[in-house]
Amino acid sequence: MSNPIEQLKTELSSELNNILEYWKEYSLDEENGGFVGQRDYLNKQISGASKGIILNTRILWSFSAAGNFQQNSELKYYADRAYEYLKNHFQDTSFGGVYWELDAEGNPVNKRKQIYAQAFAIYALSEYYIYTKKESAREWALSLFRLLEEHARDREYSGYFEAFQEDLSPIEDMRLSEKDKNSAKTMNTHLHVLESYTTLLKISGDKQVEEALESLTLLFLNKFYDDKNQHFQLFFDVHWNREGNIISYGHDIEAVWLLFEAAKELKNVALINRTRDLTVAVAETFLKEAYVPQAGVINEKELDSGQTDTDRHWWPQAEAIVGLDYAWRFSGEGKFRDALLDIWKYTRKHIIDAENGEWHFRVDENNNPYQQEDKLGMWKCPYHNSRACIQIIQQNS
């Protein structure tokens, strides 16, 4: 009988290539340079669509990470293209940082400085440096780190503020997207600062990066994590008063393995042990509340009202596979392995779009895809799914 994990690795290796082929074929903007801004559900390019920083940094990260993992120099063309476009169009040479949005021709149309976006630039540039050893990428990543530490870090109450205006002065509406609360500090932004600082520490060995990463890791353990219900809280004010009670299951299971990787990069034994235990505890709750056998992972729940979003978004399926793999390896409990294999089976059948390529943005609880969602867009990128493929293969090799 074949080893199910070896079979999983084979399938994920094939899927990683499918993802890369999609983005190589359909994302390049041959008219205006860089990458197109939007393709709809049927994979039709939307003419004149604006270009978002999240899509473009995640393209850079994905081609760089896959190039590193596969030791594939052919992906350098796409990574270089993404890096040059970021540098020439998204970079703010006046005030520092990266813009949120450009028009189709590459001119800034939204110059706000979302800290989430700066974090993704650091993450992508750090991975690109590992791939190419281009010193300018490492220097840019470190300069963005210094910008965050100077302008976004709250030295009085800890953590990082959510957003700023173009010139890094305060902004009234700090929301990352329309569905978010207008909170000063969010778990989502801090999580991506954490993952970016983890890779930045790897390439720099910088003591200031090390201090900031350790501070962030402790913040997750002491502020964001609620050990009463074994979830991470999402929204807070400046003084760390919770705002709302929404649980994002994808963020729960993504956070634990990223926290462990941060602790590992810090070489902090106490934090390594705490994050290992945390991974198993959160994964236990995740299996009870978010995972539906043979039907994937639901999206989120409002704990006060009990209102549940049962849609299956693409990215929580990817993060669940990774987080549950860590929980299985830490605990030795087969239920985590069985669940991740089942979620992957569900993903192959219902989330991956066999007809038009890539993954559906989301499907409903009856597995019907939402046809108003993009295949490629401001938020629909190759990062969660390509990273899941890479992580699982690496961690089980």
Residue in this structure with the two tokens 């210094």, named with its chain if needed: 146
Can you give the three-state secondary structure of 128-165, one letter per residue?
HHHHHCCHHHHHHHHHHHHHHHHHHECCCCCCECCEEC
Q: 4-395 adopts what CATH topology?
A: Glycosyltransferase (1.50.10)
Give phi and psi for 338, each to the nearest 5. -60, -40
Q: Name the β-bridge partners of 202.
A: none
Digit-coded pLDDT (tens) for 92-125: 999 999 999 999 999 999 999 999 999 999 999 9
Residue 175: what pLDDT?
A: 81
**Closest among 224, 223, 273, 270 to 247, alpha carbons compared:** 224
**Residue 181: band (very low, low, confident or very high) from pLDDT cuts 50, 70, 90:** confident
Digit-coded pLDDT (tens) for 348-369: 999 999 999 999 999 999 999 9
Digit-coded pLDDT (tens) for 116-170: 999 999 999 999 999 999 999 999 999 999 999 999 999 999 999 999 999 999 8
Digit-coded pLDDT (tens) for 75-84: 999 999 999 9
Beta strands in the chain, from DSSP E residues, in sequence order: 51-52, 101-102, 108-110, 113-114, 163-164, 185-186, 225-226, 231-232, 235-236, 246-248, 300-302, 308-309, 312-313, 362-363
How is the chain split into domains, by residue range? 4-395
Rounded Cα distance between 214 and 372, Å, is 41
Q: Name the β-bridge partners of 350.
A: none
